[in-house]
Amino acid sequence: MEIKLKKNRKRTIIIGGIAFLFLCMTSLIFYADSFIGRSLPQLEGELAVPGLSGEVEVVRDGKGVPHLSASSDRDLYMAQGYIQAQDRLFQMDLSRRQASGRLSEVVGEKAVDRDKFFRTLGLRRAAEASLEGYSPEVKEVLGWFADGVNAYIQDSKEKKSLPAEFTLLGYEPEKWTEVDSLTIGKYMAFDLGGHWQGQAFRYWALQSLPEDKAMDLFPSYPEDAPTIIHETTDLSMKWGNAITEPVIPPEMNGSNNWVVSGSKSESGYPMLADDPHLSLGSPSIWYQMHLESPDVNVSGVIFAGIPGIILGHNETIAWGVTNTGPDVQDLYIEKRHKEDKNHFLYDGKWEEAEVIKEPIAVKDSETIPYEVTVTRHGPIVSEFANQDDSENALSMRWTALDPSLELQAIIDMNKASNWTEFEKAMEDFHTPTQNFVFADKDGTIAYKANGKIPIRKKGDGLLPVPGWTSDYEWTGFIPYEELPRVVNPAEGYIATANNKVIGDGYPYHISHHWAGPYRYMRISEVLESKEKLTKQDMKDMQHDHMNLQAREFVPLLLNALEGKELSEQSREALQLLADWDYEDDADAAAPLLFHQWMDRMSNELFDDSIPTDMMKLFEGKQNVVDELIRKAAKGKVSPWFTEQGGFESFLAESLSDTLEDGFDRYGSNMSEWAWGDYHRVYFENPLSSASSILEWFLNRRSPEPVGGSRVTVGAASYNDEGIVNHGGSWRFIIDMVDMSKADHIVGPGQSGHFKSPWYDDQIDDWIEGKYHETTLKPPADGKQLRLVPET
C-alpha cells in the first residue's frame, strides 16, 4: 500500500511538473504575443501627433495602402514620416545604418567588412554635402518628414511599443534626421549604378591571363541587337587574396517599363507599365502610399525613409523607370609616396590626401580604429579590389559621391502636370541614371535617360586609368538637353529593359554594360503583335515567361552536338530541349535542364583560371559566355573552349555533368523534372537567418515554386540554391482613360510587422499576377485614423 502511495505521489509530482511547465510555456507565449502585438500600428480612431498644425486623415485600403489627406504640405509630409515609421521603422533604421556603415553597432562583428566598405565610399558624407544644395522648400520637406518619424519614435518609446526587432537586438532607434533620408537615397544610387568591380577584374585579367583569354572577358553587346533609340597602361600592380570583403550590388538589378500611345490602346488613351527589378525580401524595398494636399495629389511607391513618391502617377501624368547602367564609376591607379603613404603623385607634384577617421563601434566588442583616405579622385578602395600594393593604390571617382538633388526632382515630379514640367524636374535627378518613360492624359508619351554621365578627357570606363596625370580627368557631363530622348514615336510605343540605349552614332559614351536584349525584344514582340492593346495585355506581359535566350541558344547547342557520340541520357535531354516551347514554366522540365546547363557552363569554363576572390568581381559573366557561344557556333572558337577539349567536347561534358547532378536531385525520370522544384521564390526577412524560431516568426511561408527566370520579362532571378531573391519588386499598370486609379503589386506586402495581415498577403498575388487597385480618393470602407495636433 505504501509503495502504491509513493508511486501515485511520484506520478502526481510528474504530472504537476508537466502542467507547470506547460503553464509557464503558455504564459510565455501569451506574453510574447502581447509584447509583440503592442508594436502593431494604430489604424483607427484618433492619435495626437506633436508638431501638426491641422488634422490629417489616414485611410488604409484593403491591402494596407495608406491614403493621407492634409490641409498643408507641412502636415502631409509630417504624417508621411509618422505613417512610414508605423509600418517600417526597423527597416528604415537598418537602411540608414547600412548606408552609413553603422550595422556593427547593433549586429556585431559579422557586419564589420560591410561597414568598412560603406565608410570608405562615404555615402553619408555625400548626403551631408548634398543637403546644403537643396532649396529651402525641400529642406523643409525633409525636416517635416523627420519630425513625423521622430514623433512616432518618441511615442513608441513612451508606450514601450517599439517594434520587437529593436528589443531582440538590444537597442533603441536614434532620432531621425534630414541626412538619414538623403543617405538612403544615396544607397539606392549605389544599388543601381556603377561598374568599378568590372574595371578591377579586367585589369587583373590583363595582368594574370594570356591576352587572348583576357580580351574574351571584356563586355560586348550582341551584333544587330536592338537599342532603345532606333586604353591599357603599362603599370603592373600586385594582387592578393581578399583583404576586406566588398559589397557588390546584384548584377540583375534592372527593370522593365513601357508606354503605349492611345493609337495602340483599346481605350484610346496611353497606358504605362513599370516593374523595377530589385532584391526581394520581407518587408518590401518599396512602400506604397497616396499623398494629397492642396498642392499635390500623387500615388505610387517610395523607399521607406524618404518623403514624396518616386514612381507612380498624379491626376494628369504617370511615369516609371528602369536602370540605364552607365559608366559613372572610374578607378584611378594612384602612385603613393614611398615614405608617406598619404601623399600621391599628380602632374609631377605630391598631393596630400584627406584622411578621415571612421572608428567602427562593434556590439559586444571593442571599437575598431579605421581610416578612410580620399584623393582628389575619391576614396582609396584597394582593399576591396584584392589589390595589395604598397606603392600603388586604387581610388574611385563616382558621380554619387558628389552633391546631388534627387529629392528636389521627386518633389517637383510629383507636382508636374505635363511633359515640359516633368522633363524640367528630372534635370535635378543626378544619380542613379534612369530610363524614364512618361505618359500624359493629353496623349503624349515620352522617354528620357536622365542623370549625370561623365565625359572623359581620355579613357572609356573599361579599365583603371592613371591617376598621377590630368590626362584622364572628367571634363564635364553629357549636357542635359543632349541626353537620349524620344517623344511620341511613330511606332506608338516606347520600351526599355536595361538594353543598349542608343546606337554607335551617338556622340557621347554611355556604357559598355548592358543587359542581354531578350526582355526588350520580347516586350517589343508582344507590343507589335496587336493593333490594339488592353490593360490585361500589360498585366500578362509583366508575368510573361517566354525565354528568348533559350530561343536563340537551344538551336545553336543542338546543332553543335548533332551527330556527336553522346549517351542515351544526353540524347534524351537534347530531345527534351528540341520539343520545348521556350516558356519558363514552373511545372516544365526543359527550363530546369536549360538553365542548369547554362549555369554549369558559366562556372566550369572559368573555375580553373579565375580565383574565387576575383570571380566575385567578374561583372557580366553570363553575357560573356553567351558571346563566346555565339562566336564558337560561327567557327570562332575561344581559347577558353580550346583548353577544355574544344567547343563541342565542352558542351557534351557539361551537359553530362548537368544530367548527373539532376538525376541525383530530381530523380531518374527526366520528363518528370520541374523548374519549380529548384526555382522557388522566398521573401526572406533579414533577421530570420539568426535562428529557427525567428525564421518561423518572420518567414512563415516556405519557398514557393515559380516560373520565369533572369531573362524573361516576368523577371525571377535566383541564387545558387535556386531561391528567387530578385525580380519585380513592384508592379504598376495604368490606363490613362481613368487617372483616378491604377493597379499594383508590392511583394510580399505593405507592412513590416509580421503580425500584420498585410505582412505577406501579396505573395500569392506576386506569383499569380493578381493586382490590387489603388485610387486617388480614399476608399469609403477603409480603416480610418485621424492624426490631430497635440494639445
Q: What is the CA angle 653-659-661, rounded to 5? A: 105
Q: What cell was used for 150?
A: 521622430
At which residue does the C-alpha cell 480612431 appear?
45
Rounded distance between C-alpha atoms, residue 100 and residue 573, angstroms: 50
At which residue does the C-alpha cell 584627406 appear?
354
Element (H, E) at 239: none
At 352, the amino acid letter reads E
Q: Hey, is 23 helix, strand or coil?
A: helix
Rounded distance between C-alpha atoms, residue 350 and residue 373, angstroms: 15
Q: Are 183 and 99 in contact (CB under 8 A)?
A: yes
What are the distances in angstroms from CA 568 to CA 72, 564, 573, 662? 73, 12, 9, 15
Q: Hey, is 572 helix, strand or coil?
A: helix
Q: Are 582 and 548 in contact (CB under 8 A)?
A: yes
Residues contacting 246, CB < 8 A, separation 6+: 117, 197, 384, 385, 616, 617
- 31 CB burial (10 A radius; 0-12, 13-18, 19+): exposed
Q: Is 220 a catalytic residue?
A: no
Residues contacting 666, CB < 8 A, separation 6+: 592, 672, 673, 674, 677, 678
Residues contacting 440, CB < 8 A, separation 6+: 270, 316, 317, 418, 419, 736
Question: Which region, left, alpha or beta, applies to residue 660 given φ > 0 means left and ψ of -120 to 50 means alpha?
Answer: alpha
At which residue does the C-alpha cell 576572390 appear?
613
Annotated binding site: 327, 330
Q: Using CA atoms of 415, 420, 423, 427 in order, give the dihedral in degrees to the nearest 10.
A: -90
Rounded distance between C-alpha atoms, residue 499 and residue 254, angstroms: 10
Annotated binding site for Ca(2+): 327, 330
Q: Which of 100, 104, 156, 255 is catalytic?
A: 255
At 534, the amino acid letter reads T
Rounded distance between C-alpha atoms, residue 791 and residue 284, angstroms: 36
- Contacts of range 567-572, beta carbons closer than 8 Å, 24 or more positions apart: 567/656, 569/656, 569/659, 569/663, 569/670, 570/652, 570/655, 570/656, 570/659, 572/670
Name beta bridge partners: 239.
387
Active site residues: 255
